[in-house]
């Protein structure tokens, strides 16, 4: 906070002496945290030694006369070396006829993102992360897992967003994440802005162990042809992020680099089945995806990107809101919700009703796929074959299809998962050895 107000004072002083600096906006983030891990069944070895980290980072945006703008990263030296930084910022200002000024929000909502337990951990008053790693190591060993890896990270951060128009938003947050991976084949993770409950910890460790144990048994089958692919929520979210959410960003839509056009939004093009909607909510307490406002000062909230299968709005920063002639939106930050208006069966029932299918727990190469096309061609390297409603054993296959088309098909199915934000998903696609 001290650095942010110090920088604000210097910026205001500078603006008083240099009339070409019209406005400014800063987003400062100060954080300190703790990390520790397990590699190959050992806590705190050379690659997972316990660590303490602290950093000061952020962004600055300057608005100059003549539609010129500066965009730069901030660091801890910015107040002490202000004159040097200002010279660089002035020298790297660029002309942008589409650039925008400051945003004036009516109000900024509040959301609780801080957990005192996490702060104690970072101050070394509580060895909870070591206990968590020990718990995972012990439980997974008891489940017969031979190789265990994992990591836990806890951070305490304070963020300040200010601008020359008087906006000042300050809040603290305590992001925590951990994961366990068993036998190099399956892992589950947690990521929120609070320390996890014992129920959450046990669920993640147990799931990791039981699914890895199922993957240890080879089905002995070779598979090919058309079959049902069953995506648990984690895999479904990765596909939604890669092929759907990416194409909703305003900068790609407006610049014709998305598979959707601006007209598709104004005309409400049907891109999902009519029971499906996609929304973002940044105001859920202690959630990883939550924040009160964007770095541009746009208030957080609920935004419906797709409603009843129809495109509603791209994800819009101030610049692209102006270019699109639409209102700016909150920006998704690590989470979204795909919802169906139809009743959906539990995941276990979906498996029971699967005649011939494959549950996919790991994909290799998703990041290499062309997001603008919707086509996928991937190796699913950790999967369980399902025949007549029963899990047979591990298989591996190359899968091919069009994910965006699958989201439109009536025969595609969703399945409910306890404790997950999004459902599982099942659809038909082509599979080869």
Partner 1 sequence: MRVEQYNQVVDEAKKIGLAKGLYFILRLQSRKDLGVHINNGKTEEISSGNLEGMGLQVFTPEGFMGFAAADQINQQVVCDLFDKAAFLAQQSQSFQGEPNVEIFKLKAHQTRKEIKLEHPYGTLSLVEIENRLKGLNNELLVMDPRLSVRTLLRLTDEEWRIIRSDGTDVVFNTPRSMLYHSITAKSDEDTATTFANLPGTDLGLLIENEPVRKIQERAKKAAKLGLDLLSAPKLAGGHYKLVIDYGLAKGLAHEAFGHAAETDSIESSILGENGRFKTGMLVADSNLSIIDGPLEGDYAYQPISAVGEERQTVKIVDHGKLNAGLSDIFSAARAGVPYTGAERIENFFHLPIARMSNIRIEMDNAIPMNQEFELVTPQDLYHILVENHLMQADENVLYLAGFQGGQVNPAFGDFVFHCSGIYQLCPEPVLYKPAIFSGKILSVLRSVKAAIGRLQIDAIGTCGKMGQGVPSCGGSHYFLVIDQNPEVTIGGK
Q: Which of residues 310-369 bind partner 1 (CB under 8 A)?
A: 362, 364-365, 367-369
Under the criterion CB under 8 A, does residue 16 sit at the interface with partner 1? Answer: no
DSSP state, residue 160: E
Task: Out of 373, 390, 405, 409, name the contact with partner 1 by CB under 8 A.
Answer: 373
Q: Does 40 bind partner 1 (CB under 8 A)?
A: yes
377 touches partner 1 (CB under 8 A): yes
Which of 235, 280, 360, 399 touches partner 1 (CB under 8 A)?
A: 399
Q: Is 83 in a helix, a strand, or coil?
A: helix
- What is the number of alpha carbons within 13 Å of residue 137 lying toward its C-beta? 18
Best CA proximity match to 149, nearest among 210, 205, 218: 205
The residue range among 265-273, 281-289, 346-354, 376-384 that interacts with partner 1, by the rule CB under 8 A, is 376-384
Nearer residue to partner 1 within complex by CB, 58 or 299: 58
Strands (E), 40-135: 42-43, 51-64, 68-74, 94-95
Least distance in angstroms from the C-beta of 105 to partner 1:
23
Selected from 98, 110, 116, 390, the binder of partner 1 by CB under 8 A is 98
Size of the site for partner 1 (CB under 8 A): 73
Applying CB under 8 A, does 294 fall inside the site for partner 1?
Answer: no
Kindly state the smallest distance separating residue 12's Cβ from partner 1, in Å. 22
Range 253-272, binding partner 1 (CB under 8 A): 255-259
Count of alpha carbons within 13 Å of 38, Cβ hemisphere only? 26
Q: Does 221 bind partner 1 (CB under 8 A)?
A: no
**Are 243 and 293 contacting, i.e. CB atoms less than 8 angstroms apart?**
no
State which residue, 133 or 351, has the beta carbon closest to partner 1: 133
Q: Tell me: does residue 182 bind partner 1 (CB under 8 A).
A: no
Strand arrangement of the beta sheet that strand 310-311 belongs to: 310-311, 302-307, 276-281, 337-340
> How many residues are there in the chain?
433
Q: Which C-beta is closer to partner 1: that of 71 or that of 158?
A: 71
* DSSP character string of 321-390: HHHHTS---PPP-S--EEEESS--EEHHHHHHT-SEEEEEEEEE-GGGS-TTT-EEEEEEEEEEEEETTE
Q: Which of 12, 20, 45, 348 binds partner 1 (CB under 8 A)?
A: 45
Nearer to partner 1, 290 or 382 (CB): 382
Write down the least CB distance from residue 1 to partner 1, Å: 17
Q: Is 409 in the site for partner 1 (CB under 8 A)?
A: no
Token pair for residue 279? 């929304």
Least distance CB 147 / partner 1 (angstroms): 6
Stretch that binds partner 1, among 65-73, 156-164, 190-198, 348-356 (CB under 8 A): 65-73
- Residue from the set 2, 116, 165, 184 that interacts with partner 1 by CB under 8 A: 184
8 Å CB contact between 105 and 298: yes
Q: What's the alpha-carbon Rg for the chain, to the nearest Å?
A: 24
Which secondary-structure segment (H or E) carries 131?
A: helix 128-142
Residue 65 binds partner 1 (CB under 8 A): no
Q: Are 376 and 399 in contact (CB under 8 A)?
A: yes
């Amino acid at each position: 906070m001290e650095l942010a107000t110090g920088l604000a004072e210097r910026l205001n002083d500078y603006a008083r002496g240099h009339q070409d600096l019209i406005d400014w906006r800063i987003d400062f983030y100060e954080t300190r945290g703790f990390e520790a891990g397990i590699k190959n069944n050992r806590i705190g070895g050379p690659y997972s030694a316990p660590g303490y980290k602290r950093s000061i980072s952020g962004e600055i945006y300057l608005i100059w006369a003549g539609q010129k703008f500066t965009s730069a990263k901030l660091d801890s030296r910015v107040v002490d070396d202000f004159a040097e930084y200002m010279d660089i910022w002035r020298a790297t200002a660029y002309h942008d006829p589409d650039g925008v000024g400051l945003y004036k929000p009516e109000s900024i909502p509040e959301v609780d993102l801080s957990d005192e337990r996490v702060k104690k951990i970072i101050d070394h008053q509580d060895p909870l992360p070591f206990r968590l790693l020990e718990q995972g190591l012990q439980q997974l060993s008891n489940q017969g897992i031979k190789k265990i890896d994992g990591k836990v990270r806890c951070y305490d951060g304070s963020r300040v967003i200010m601008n020359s128009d008087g906006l000042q938003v300050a809040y603290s947050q305590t992001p925590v994440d951990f994961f366990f991976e068993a036998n190099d084949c399956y892992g589950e993770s947690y990521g929120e802005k609070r320390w996890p409950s014992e129920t959450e910890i046990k669920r993640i460790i147990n799931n990791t162990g039981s699914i890895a144990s199922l993957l240890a048994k080879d089905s002995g089958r070779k598979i090919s042809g058309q079959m049902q692919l069953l995506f648990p929520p984690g895999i479904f979210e990765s596909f939604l992020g890669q092929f759907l959410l990416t194409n909703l960003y305003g900068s790609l839509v407006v610049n014709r680099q998305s598979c959707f056009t601006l007209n598709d939004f104004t005309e409400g093009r049907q891109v999902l089945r009519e029971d499906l909607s996609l929304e973002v909510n940044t105001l859920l307490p202690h959630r990883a995806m939550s924040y009160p406002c964007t770095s541009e000062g746009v208030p957080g909230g609920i935004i419906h990107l797709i409603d009843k299968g129809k495109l509603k709005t791209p994800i819009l920063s101030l610049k692209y809101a102006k270019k699109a002639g639409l209102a700016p939106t909150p920006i998704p930050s690590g989470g979204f919700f795909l919802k169906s208006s139809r009743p959906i069966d539990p995941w276990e029932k979906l498996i029971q009703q699967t005649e011939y299918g494959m549950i996919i727990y790991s994909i290799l190469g998703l990041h290499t796929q062309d997001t603008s096309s919707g086509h996928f061609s991937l190796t699913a390297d950790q999967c369980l074959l399902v025949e007549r409603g029963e899990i047979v054993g591990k298989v591996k296959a190359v899968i091919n299809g069009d994910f965006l088309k699958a989201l439109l098909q009536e025969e595609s199915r969703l399945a409910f998962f306890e404790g997950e934000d999004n459902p599982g998903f099942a659809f038909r696609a082509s599979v080869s050895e």
